[in-house]
Structure 1
Amino acid sequence: MTAVLWEAEADVVVVGSGVAGLTAALDAAELGMRVVVVTKDAVDAGSTGYAQGGVAVVLGDVPGDSVEAHVADTLTAGAGLSDAAAVAEILADGPAAVARLRARGAVFDSAPDGRPARTREGGHSAFRVVPAGGDATGAEVERALVAAATDRRLPLLVGHVAVDALRDGSGTVTGLAVLDDAGRPGVLRAPAVLLATGGYGQLYLSTTNPATATGDGLALALRAGATAADLEFVQFHPTVLYTGPAVGRRPLVTEAVRGEGAVLLDRAGRRFMTGVHPLADLAPRDVVAGAITRTLAATGADCVHLDATALPDFARRFPTVHAACRAAGIDPAREPIPVTPAAHYACGGVVTDLHGRTAVPGLYAAGEVARTGLHGANRLASNSLLEGLVVGARAARAVAADARTPRPAAGECLVAAPAVPLAPRGVVQQAMTVAAGIGRDAAGLAAASDRVEAAAVVGVPVDRAGVEDAALTLLAQAVLAAAGTRTESRGCHVRTDFPERDDVWQRASLELTLDAAGQPVVRTGTAVAA
């Protein structure tokens, strides 16, 4: 039994303070539940604030557009692995979710006629992406939700990293173990824990994600007995500002820049997306990122260029991108922007139903940490904020509904400090970048797995860094196992040794759990691969 310094009680603990987490927390509070929000950093330090393009949603005021068209675009981007029913349900809930967000204070940009402004991003057949602040949509969404949480005096436990879900003898969740910034342990007792912790972009040396995106929630869910799926599908954003070799978060150059007319050029100034895809520069992200990668390999260049010099008033329309470019000494109104792909979005995650329920009683998930079936093998641009709004609200209602169902009395639960493999973060990131980026093969994936395993030592995380390193170590092995099992190329999973799509693999997503030793095991149909 591990001694804890404090304990508290709630009806639901929400882990994460991005769009999904705060939406769920606010809705749960409005349903009369006692809520505590736990976040390991500042309340606004997650990925939500970095989202640029907007919210993809059909509001009924764009002639020729429809929810059905949005569904079709999402299914096309998902490359055959999206769940059609999930796509239809989540997108149909979009207008109401955006209306609730606006009622909570979010301000979106307006067109001259007073209607919401629109832009277009890769893979969309219509101008249906609703922006805020030009290219600062995520920042506005985060601002509005944090303000609403503050106004409601929602309990926010900042500077506390979630370590593990507490469970009773039947495996039912009974609370959450946390560590504060000084490594001091605490326990939140609750019959429901809702994970909204984001993705795992920090598995790679270069990413659009902030330092918080280390996959803690997904690792916690796996250790609690949940199932994950689609982990091999890591989306690389095609256009990240290139300023030379760098490690860590890089500034995003939103797809909306291409949606407004910018084009990609190789080192000789030639457009290279024409002929690659019918939508050319506005092809789905996996197509554009792959084309850029092939162009770089063929030309020996370090970057390609995004020519936005013909766009009027770039600084007003894209203030975030403009500021990042100017800080790097680039004037996008006068010269092309150097860009490369970088790790961006985890299309897979904890398997949930459309109400955030996982296979573990009392454990819920929403947002990027969850796999609802919306994204499949590749996420359609700007569907992520919408998913967080919709599923965050649905999860809150599911928690409230489940609380009305009598549960057996919880047995005694030990607050165990788990001993887990921990590999140095630099080793993990280097191995993943080399072997599991855009373009993978069996030999590289196996070598990366061996390298991570050889570098790992078993220990008990005693602080935030240790919890994060444990999560990254586990997820590296999980992603490598899933990527090694899927012997085809589909969406943002590209196998150079299996370059063609093979519809044998379309029958189901690859599911992954942990075995008794805590090692990832991939299951496909009746076959099992470790």
Structure 2
Amino acid sequence: MSIVSRSPADRVIVVGAGVAGLATALRLVPRPVTLVTASPLGDGTATGWAQGGIAAAIGPDDAPVLHAADTEAAGAGLTEPDVALAVAGAAPGLIDWLVEIGVGFDRDADGCLALGLEAAHSRRRIVRGRGDSTGATVLEGLVKAARATPSIEVLVAEAKALMQDANGAVCGLVCESDGASFRLPARAVVLATGGVGSLYAATTNPRGATGSGLLLAARAGATLRDLEFVQFHPTAIDAGADPMPLATEALRGEGAALIDGAGERVMAGIRGGDLAPRDVVARAIFQARASGREVFLDTRGDLGRSMARRFPTVAGLCAGLGIDPAAQPIPVRPAAHYHMGGVLVDAEGRTDVPGLWACGEVASTGLHGANRLASNSLLEALAFSGPIAASIEAAPPASLIGEATMPARHRSDGGRALPEVRALMERRVGVVRDAAGLRAAILRLRALAETGSDAALTGLMIAVCALSRQESRGGHWRNDFSGQAARTHTLTTLADCLRAAERIAADQTLAESLTDA
């Protein structure tokens, strides 16, 4: 059966083909699924670039309650305890499921799963594939399983808008391929589109990670949560590449240290040292660089000499950049890596727009809070894929599919503003923020959004939320509000953000007129 001829009453559309999209499609078997992906299956996803691993409490000294506690501690007061415990409890079974479908994880001499250590984890619980190629290993296994599943069909196309019926329920997707737009009616749509890292000039994410799914949901009226919380990975390799290659956090778990050009420890005197939470390490490196000090990851010695065997991805990246990690330290800097905020979903991945679910980085599940714990991202996507599939099966199909109309076409600038957006987000909405910089960003992003820049509109929402949070917490750090306020989430919509930006622009106009007078 072709994609276009599938019955809308049966079909589920999954947008995105990383771990979140593939796992959800496989969990929906035998229901017909159309997997919409902007790139050929296996390409262009952040999953394939993930060097870390999957956190799972399977060691003899570990337990899900300990994993959940570490997740909450990293989340800086905004992780939801019940979500953390549920995801941590599901982790061992999810590893088993991946093994069953053919994913090959690293084993120790006894044949047991090898467990690594990463920052802010109290136990060795990181399950890896091919050393620092876990994402690629998992992606390969899921792609192979999806290709072998008759109920899953793949459509290489760009998702342009969500179709909605007369009551506002999502009932399909508007796609574009080879310059032609067409509609795909469906009983449900799952967004699994990844994050926003490529809105920043320095990022570890693929070029397509500009928040497209976030904006699809926002334009459909979905509630968004905690958009201001962007995680900057502290150890992107600073050698001029875009996107920036990553030196996995696992290296610090195995003894690598952060040093400056004089050989001094960057994390000396900071609680947790080199294994402090990512936001802490990223700010320490940012501040060192702001003071004129270069920062390096020191793997010289035994770790560097064994890197080709233990961390082949990083070893290959270093070789390509002319760096010998056994003899010279690796230059590093923070780079946009993961978005803790996203489309608000419940425990079954449902948004507050009927017919629409979200899974993975595009969603805000309550797991990560203000700062994601290392190796919890692939886990979150896997953990929610099953409940999402069960929820879709239990939900009635979208109504009035035949009456759905094409959404209003949004003017697009074709990505022309993206370089300016990236530079602006890096400078004004980055690791350290303040009111003046955020207001300046909002004014310029608003102007660019009005020319049809989707990237600017998504960045505008993040900047507005960052300005509204007048505290420093997790991945959101204000140098004009260093303390913490009450533990509250930022809930917003696209309309809310546009109204806030309009007020800021009006205030600026008034201030300028008074100055001129």
* Alignment TM-score, normalising by the size of structure 2: 0.92
Alpha carbons 2:31, 2:151 under 8 Å: kept: no
Alpha carbons 1:421, 1:457 under 8 Å: kept: no
What's the C-alpha RMSD, in Å, of the aligned pairs?
1.9
Alpha carbons 2:294, 2:331 under 8 Å: kept: no
| 1:256 counterpart = 2:255 | no
Aligned residue runs from structure 1 range 36-51, under 5 A: 36-44=34-42, 45-51=44-50
Residue 35 of structure 1 corresponds to 33
Alpha carbons 1:306, 1:339 under 8 Å: kept: no
Residue in structure 2 matching 1:441, options 427, 434, 451: 434
Alpha carbons 1:7, 1:186 under 8 Å: kept: no
Cα deviation code 1:464-514 (max 9, x no counterpart)? xxxxx41x2221110000000000100010101111222x2x0x2101102
1:483 and 1:152 map into 2 onto residues whose CA distance is: 43
Alpha carbons 1:7, 1:187 under 8 Å: kept: no
Q: 1:406 to 1:52 in 2, by over 3 A?
A: closer
Residue 413 of structure 1 corresponds to 404
Aligned residue runs from structure 1 range 16-35, under 5 A: 16-29=16-29, 32-35=30-33
Quote the offset at 1:521 in angstroms. 5.6
Quote the offset at 1:201 in angstroms. 0.5
Aligned residue runs from structure 1 range 98-247, under 5 A: 98-180=95-177, 182-244=178-240, 246=241
Q: Which runs of 5+ in 1 are unaligned?
A: 460-468, 523-530
Aligned residue runs from structure 1 range 274-353, under 5 A: 274-277=268-271, 279-298=272-291, 300-311=292-303, 313-353=306-346
2:266 and 2:110 map into 1 onto residues whose CA distance is: 37
SS at match of 2:222: coil
Alpha carbons 1:234, 1:493 under 8 Å: kept: yes
Quote the offset at 1:6 in angstroms. 6.5
1:310 and 1:96 map into 2 onto residues whose CA distance is: 35
Q: Percent identity?
A: 45
Quote the offset at 1:420 in angstroms. 4.8
Quote the offset at 1:136 in angstroms. 0.2
Residue 501 of structure 1 corresponds to 484
2:298 and 2:5 map into 1 onto residues whose CA distance is: 53
Give the stretch that moved more between structures: 97-106 or 478-487.
Answer: 97-106
Quote the offset at 1:519 in angstroms. 2.3
SS at match of 1:476: helix
| 1:455 counterpart = 2:454 | no
Residue 15 of structure 2 corresponds to 15
Residue 507 of structure 2 corresponds to none
SS at match of 1:206: coil
Cα deviation code 1:48-69 (max 9, x no counterpart)? 000111100112xx23211111
Alpha carbons 2:231, 2:340 under 8 Å: kept: yes
SS at match of 1:474: helix
1:157 and 1:407 map into 2 onto residues whose CA distance is: 22
Cα deviation code 1:419-477 (max 9, x no counterpart)? 25757111211110100111000000010111122234445xxxxxxxxx41x222111
Q: 1:483 to 1:220 in 2, by over 3 A?
A: same
* Alignment TM-score, normalising by the size of structure 1: 0.90
Quote the offset at 1:386 in angstroms. 0.5
1:407 and 1:424 map into 2 onto residues whose CA distance is: 36
Residue 53 of structure 1 corresponds to 52
Residue 464 of structure 1 corresponds to none
Quote the offset at 1:8 in angstroms. 5.2
1:341 and 1:351 map into 2 onto residues whose CA distance is: 27
Counterpart residue type for residue 20 of structure 2:
A
SS at match of 1:207: coil
2:321 and 2:235 map into 1 onto residues whose CA distance is: 15
Aligned residue runs from structure 1 range 502-517, under 5 A: 502=485, 504=486, 506=487, 508-515=488-495
Q: 1:179 to 1:417 in 2, by over 3 A?
A: farther
| 1:378 counterpart = 2:371 | yes
Residue 490 of structure 1 corresponds to 473
| 1:266 counterpart = 2:260 | yes
Alpha carbons 1:427, 1:455 under 8 Å: kept: no
Cα deviation code 1:31-90 (max 9, x no counterpart)? x3111100011222210000111100112xx23211111111100100000111111111
Residue 466 of structure 1 corresponds to none
| 1:69 counterpart = 2:66 | yes
2:422 and 2:398 map into 1 onto residues whose CA distance is: 42
Residue 391 of structure 1 corresponds to 384
Residue 526 of structure 1 corresponds to none
1:63 and 1:103 map into 2 onto residues whose CA distance is: 22
SS at match of 1:358: coil
Counterpart residue type for residue 246 of structure 2:
L
What is the number of residues matched between the two proteins?
493
Quote the offset at 1:153 in angstroms. 3.5
1:263 and 1:515 map into 2 onto residues whose CA distance is: 45
Counterpart residue type for residue 498 of structure 2:
Q
2:300 and 2:6 map into 1 onto residues whose CA distance is: 53
Alpha carbons 2:132, 2:313 under 8 Å: kept: yes
Counterpart residue type for residue 374 of structure 2:
A
Alpha carbons 2:188, 2:398 under 8 Å: kept: no
SS at match of 1:350: strand
Alpha carbons 1:427, 1:452 under 8 Å: kept: no
Give the stretch that moved more between structures: 450-459 or 72-81.
Answer: 450-459
Counterpart residue type for residue 365 of structure 1:
A
Counterpart residue type for residue 267 of structure 1:
G
Cα deviation code 1:189-234 (max 9, x no counterpart)? 1010000000011110110101121111110001111111111000
SS at match of 2:116: coil
Quote the offset at 1:100 in angstroms. 1.1
Counterpart residue type for residue 32 of structure 2:
R
Counterpart residue type for residue 407 of structure 2:
A
Give the stretch that moved more between structures: 316-325 or 450-459.
Answer: 450-459
